[in-house]
Amino acid sequence: MNILLSQEKLPEEFRGDTADIGLRPYATEDGTPTEQNRPISSWNQLHLWANVWDSSTKRDGQDASATLQWNGQTPSTLVAADASANMEMMDNRYTYMRHPILLRFYSFVGINYVKRTAQHGARGGHIDVRVSVIPVYVWWNPYNVDMTFTGADGGPWGSYFGEHRYMPIMQTNNYSRMQANLIENWDPSSATYSESPFSPYSPNDGYNNRQIADFGASFRKTSELLSGGVGKAGEPSVLKAGEIVIFAHPVVAKIEHGNAVTQSKANKNDIRVDNFAFKEGWTQDPGQVSSYAINQADGIQYQYLSGSGYEDRGTAMMSIKFAEDLNDLNYTPHNIVLCTKYTDEFSSQSKKLGTLVMVSGIMNPRQLGQSGSLSDGSDPAVFDKAMPGILNLNWGAWEKPLLDQVKLPADMFLDNEGPDDNRKRRGFYGTAAEDSTFVAYYGVSVKWGKPPVIGAYPEGKDYRAKTWQHSSPLFWGSQMPTASELGRSYSPYQFEVKNANSDFFPITISNILSNDGTRLSPFGGPGAEQVNKIVAAELPFQQPSSLAGFAGFRLTPGWYKTDSKAAIAKRFAYQSGVPGVGIGNSFADPMLPPDKVFSHNEIMGDASLGDFWDHGLMINDALWDSWFTSSLAARPRSIGGSAKEDLKSVLKEAFSTDTSSNKAAGIANRRLSPDLQGKPAEAVIDELAKTDEGYKLSAKYLPIAGGFNVNSTSRRAWEAMLMGLKNRKLLYSSNGRPSVLNSNQANFSRFGVASSNKSHVDDYGSIGITNGIPDGDAMAWSDLRTLSDTQIRALADNMVKEVKKRGPFLNMSDFINRRLQSGEMGVKGALQAAIDESSINRTFDELTDMVITPKVGYPNADAAKGSVFTAAPGYLIQSDVLAVLGNILTTRDDTFTIRAYGEVTSREGVVLSRAWCEAVVQRGINYVDPVNSPETAATKVNMKTGALEGTDLSAVNKAFGRRFNIVSFRWLSPEEV
């Protein structure tokens, strides 16, 4: 495989003109998927991922974001989106897409007051009520390299944020038309709701008196609003490997007429692209919120505020809900409400809304700062490359209002004391507090490790999942917009709503986000994992030299043409029933019956979204018995360097001839013992370097030295093999630079270059896995695991038990994959079962409140049970072990010792002579009948149809296969028998 992937272009049989070729094409027995033309991952995507380190070669159709950026020592990445990516068709043919992951998006709804200089003529009060809807983003760089928030052309990573775009909100109150009294018998359930003042299009409120309508904002290190309302964006953010960062609006002075925010709205200027660029961090300053409040009502009297002491005449209340369909909207043009594009039940008749759609992407540098107009309801051209994320299942959004008759509190109006009681009632003496009071929030977040808190939808439900395994937060979005118990459980995201009427805890940024100012502390939420750095996805520093080393490759469907919006979303979203960890792993997915590799679940509107495959099992089946990795690949010239050794140079080094034995000497994978088969080294090098054929010919020159048969039932053999991993050198990242970890222990890493040189489970067990470990500038989960001698012995014991229980394994796919059956063998593969039975992951499993037994109707309920941390970084999984051992494992022996006995007897049966002999025979590469070359397969898979096809193998070779060679022969003495 290394030789194949080192080519500048894949051979023709692995490429398609209208769609990618899958790593394992669909076959009839896989079921009948709704979208037929979707590959199970793809060779093209694997090729792009394996070569992402190679910045020296720009392949056809690629831009600068396709490869890592090297500064001479350390790599980083830009946000990479395909050149053809847009909201309608994300054609990732030339790029292995990578981008920050949205862990959370919240809109914080707040109220504050402004003191009127003069009493309002009609209403009689001195208090103006202001409402704010403040967006907060939390972005995560899940990759093992730093990520700069720009694209290849310098455009920054940005997003829409106007709440009117996603799920428009409507408001009503009992004081909007108040003269001397509140509206009597006001009932929000029957009141008339209006989107004003939340809509930027409202003609009744004036341009200086409405919510901000920024049409695209980027994420920056710093951001300011200058006098006159002109924005000043700093440098684009750079998130370190694994880092989680909160982003919020720039801070300005408290709101009053003429300040920077108000000025920015004048003459429709607030649609200047990126005028309100987001900055890193939430500042504990009144200007973070109050500056963005907009006027809702003028002249409220103090006596109507809750807690004023004058509540005999009633209390001012407000209520806000989500718009249920487009008919609810007064002013907002229908064509800019993004959720209509992806809501399953939407139609021109129903106009029903129902899905929060987050749109982010690479912004067009030429559009930054450009003005536009709100008059025609159209959007300016903000994005070069935009990616929609359908981020929630939208349960409970209309069960009750977002704000259900929230009372306007008096404690935001300060020091209202004076001699005239009438003036006191009207608020003459007091002053408005600078800060706002949050009265609600709504938005989406990745599921927490603990059950949802009070006030989150759906209350009283535990929809947690084994997030790192089958609902990985690496999913761009859940892509399951229809609410159902099954869909809610499977989605990695949850939709949250909380209002001030809850008595759980006050709504503050620190309570919701546990933020230290800039970097986010918890991964999930209050009481959840206290970390702000998690490396969970790999961009390789060079091609892996083990099949399991490709476990970090995202098993997303590849490039293909289709009209299905759901299929398009799935290709981009890494969501097709794919487990969170890929090649070399065997976790069953709960959405699939245990005896199936395909299932359709009716949990959503678009039929394509209901198709699920066991991609991991199918790809393991395709690769492990047909491919191997030789380490003969183009590679960097030095650790952490960007200079390249091309494939032919590597081959020359590997097959340098030892003239005394005619054996090649220099190959990185020391388990391979290169044999030139009597040919000159130059001939072998030229043969293997051929663009379309070389990868087919390498096996005959690379026999394995010291292979291990996984069907062994010898505990001592397993222990010796595992103990042999001690003292192995391992690479880890030190301040972004690859360094060598010298250790006398058995170390394993999720990645080719570990994210740390510390094993948090072992070295920091006293701190606890949910608290993280000190790691420079951040707290981290480390993917590095170190096994003690005791753990290795336990693993050897349990491997023997699994072999006896499941074996003999007929091939490597059989060994690695789970069984297609119910019960424990249908949940995970043999090696993973042995790991888990050895208590290697007990630090996770002993957190009993993090072990779940979902009660919804999963097709495979057993696969849904277990720790929510299953497969998280630091939780040892079988690909971590196979990445080290995979190259030497086999399910059969090729070398045999045969003993024979013969005797001569007389007619009477007396033994006159006897002899014993011993021969060592070895299965070779050549067929019995030389008419077929060694590389001729008995059968082959049609890469485009998935059909198993015969070859031109002769009848003799079909019957007898490979030739056995006598390695040694000797006669035995009676004493040796």
Q: Residue 719: which residues within 8 A CB-CB, separation 6 or more?
A: 792, 793, 796
- CB-CB neighbours of 858 under 10 Å: 23
Indicate if the pLDDT at residue 294 is higher than 90: no
Q: At 627, list the tokens.
A: 């491919």
Indicate if the pLDDT at residue 185 is higher than 80: yes
Q: What is the Cα–Cα distance from 557 to 739, expressed in whole angstroms?
A: 34
The arithmetic mean of pLDDT across residues 177-195, rounded, is 81
Confidence class of residue 768 from pLDDT cuts 50, 70 and 90?
A: very low
The arithmetic mean of pLDDT across residues 583-610, rounded, is 83
| Percent of the residues in the chain that have a pLDDT greater than 70, as a whole number | 85
Indicate if the pLDDT at residue 893 is higher than 70: yes
Q: Residue 478: which residues within 8 A CB-CB, separation 6 or more?
A: 390, 391, 392, 393, 487, 490, 491, 492, 493, 575
Indicate if the pLDDT at residue 946 is higher than 90: no
The arithmetic mean of pLDDT across residues 211-225, rounded, is 87
pLDDT of residue 764: 42
pLDDT of residue 612: 83
pLDDT of residue 305: 94
User: First CA to last CA across the chain, in angstroms?
Assistant: 46
- By the 10 Å C-beta count (0-12 exposed, 13-18 middle, 19+ buried), 189 is classed as exposed
**Greater model confidence, 833 or 850:** 833
- Residues 531-562 have pLDDT tens digits of 778 889 999 999 998 999 999 998 877 777 76
Helix, strand, or coil here: 383? Answer: strand
The arithmetic mean of pLDDT across residues 676-684, rounded, is 88
Closest by Cα among 855, 806, 798, 812 to 826: 806
Confidence class of residue 814 from pLDDT cuts 50, 70 and 90?
A: very high
**Chain CA centroid to CA 824, Å:** 27
pLDDT of residue 237: 97
Q: What is the Cα–Cα distance from 310 to 186, expressed in whole angstroms?
A: 19
Q: Mean pLDDT highest for which of 40-49, 207-216, 263-272?
A: 40-49
Q: Using an 8 Å Cβ cutoff, are 196 and 202 in contact?
A: yes
Helix, strand, or coil here: 139? Answer: strand
Q: What is the Cα–Cα distance from 83 to 443, expressed in whole angstroms?
A: 30
- Residues 583-594 have pLDDT tens digits of 999 999 998 999
Q: Using an 8 Å Cβ cutoff, are 957 and 939 in contact?
A: no
**Chain CA centroid to CA 821, Å:** 29
Scored b (16 or more CB within 10 A) or e, 725-750 reads: beeeebbbbbebebbebebebbbbbb
Q: What is the Cα–Cα distance from 436 to 178, expressed in whole angstroms?
A: 23
pLDDT of residue 862: 94
Indicate if the pLDDT at residue 848 is higher than 90: no
Instruction: Lowest mean pLDDT of 62-66, 493-497, 865-869, name the range.
Output: 493-497
- Residues 795-809 have pLDDT tens digits of 999 999 999 999 899
- CB-CB neighbours of 406 under 10 Å: 24
pLDDT of residue 473: 75
Indicate if the pLDDT at residue 860 is higher than 70: yes
Number of H helices, E strands in the chain: 21, 44
The arithmetic mean of pLDDT across residues 907-912, rounded, is 93
Q: What is the Cα–Cα distance from 856 to 462, expressed in whole angstroms?
A: 10
pLDDT of residue 504: 52
Query: Pairing relation of β-strands 730-734 and 737-741?
Result: antiparallel
Instruction: Lowest mean pLDDT of 124-133, 163-172, 340-349, 700-709, name the range.
Output: 340-349
Whole-number Cα distances in Å, 891 to 601, 624, 625, 704, 804: 36, 11, 10, 13, 14
Residue with tokens 């590799």: 597
3-state helix, strand, coil in the chain (%, to 5): 20, 25, 55
The arithmetic mean of pLDDT across residues 370-376, rounded, is 75
The DSSP code sequence of 82-113 is -TT--SS----SS---B--EEEEEEEEEEEEE
Confidence class of residue 930 from pLDDT cuts 50, 70 and 90?
A: very high
The DSSP code sequence of 422-479 is HHHHHTSS-EE-SS-EEEEEEEEEEPPSSPPPTTSSSTT------TTTTS-TTSS---
- Residues 412-433 have pLDDT tens digits of 999 999 999 999 999 999 999 9
Indicate if the pLDDT at residue 94 is higher than 90: no
Instruction: Lowest mean pLDDT of 186-190, 322-326, 506-510, 968-972, name the range.
Output: 506-510
pLDDT of residue 767: 38
Helix, strand, or coil here: 382? Answer: coil
Confidence class of residue 839 from pLDDT cuts 50, 70 and 90?
A: confident
**Greater model confidence, 161 or 323:** 323
pLDDT of residue 928: 95
Q: At 301, list the tokens.
A: 């009297």
pLDDT of residue 823: 92
Q: At 857, list the tokens.
A: 């109707």
Q: What is the Cα–Cα distance from 386 to 802, expressed in whole angstroms?
A: 48
Confidence class of residue 513 from pLDDT cuts 50, 70 and 90?
A: confident
Task: Name the pTM for this structure.
Answer: 0.92
**Chain CA centroid to CA 5, Å:** 24
Indicate if the pLDDT at residue 772 is higher than 60: no
pLDDT of residue 844: 83
pLDDT of residue 261: 86
Q: What is the DSSP letter of 188?
A: T
Average pLDDT, the chain: 84
Peptide bond preceding 458: is omega within 30 degrees of 0, i.e. cis?
yes
Single-letter code of the amino acid located at 217: A
Q: What is the DSSP letter of 267?
A: G
